[in-house]
Amino acid sequence: MPTPKKLKQTGSLYTAPLVMPEAEKPPSEKEPLSKAESPLWRELRILVAAKLYGSERLSSERAAKLAGINHVEFLLSLGFYKVFPLQAELNELEQRRG
């Protein structure tokens, strides 16, 4: 009797190797998502950068680099995260004035 290619003979029985579908594999066996492919990573980087900029820990230019987007796009996206784009400049002007 010819043996099918993917079957192994164990005693008098033939067994097929256990192959789990991708959805059922444990997380350690799944292929990791690359950061470029996942919109979640992009949003997370922008969120972190916006919060660091809003707390005045980063300049807008450095926060944009952290977010991985250009400076203008970063400033325009701050409204979505409820961060005023010119808060640092406004605080600086208020300190000079008074």
| Bridge partners (DSSP) listed for residue 34 | none
Pseudo-torsion of CA 51, 53, 58, 64, nearest 10°?
100
- 37-64 pLDDT per residue, tens: 588 999 999 999 999 999 989 999 999 9
Domain ranges of the chain: 33-97
Per-chain mean pLDDT for the chain? 78
Residue 18 half-sphere exposure toward CB, CA atoms < 13 A: 2
What's the pTM?
0.57
Please tell me the predicted confidence (pLDDT) of residue 57. 92
Structure tokens at 20: 């789990």
- Residue 87 — φ and ψ, nearest 5°? -60, -40
Looking at the chain, the whole-number percentage of residues with pLDDT higher than 70 is: 62
**Which helix (H) or strand (E) is 44 found in, with range?**
helix 39-54
Mean pLDDT confidence for 72-78: 94
Asked if residue 35 has pLDDT above 90, the reply is no
CA-CA distance, 8 to 72, in Å (whole number)?
A: 61
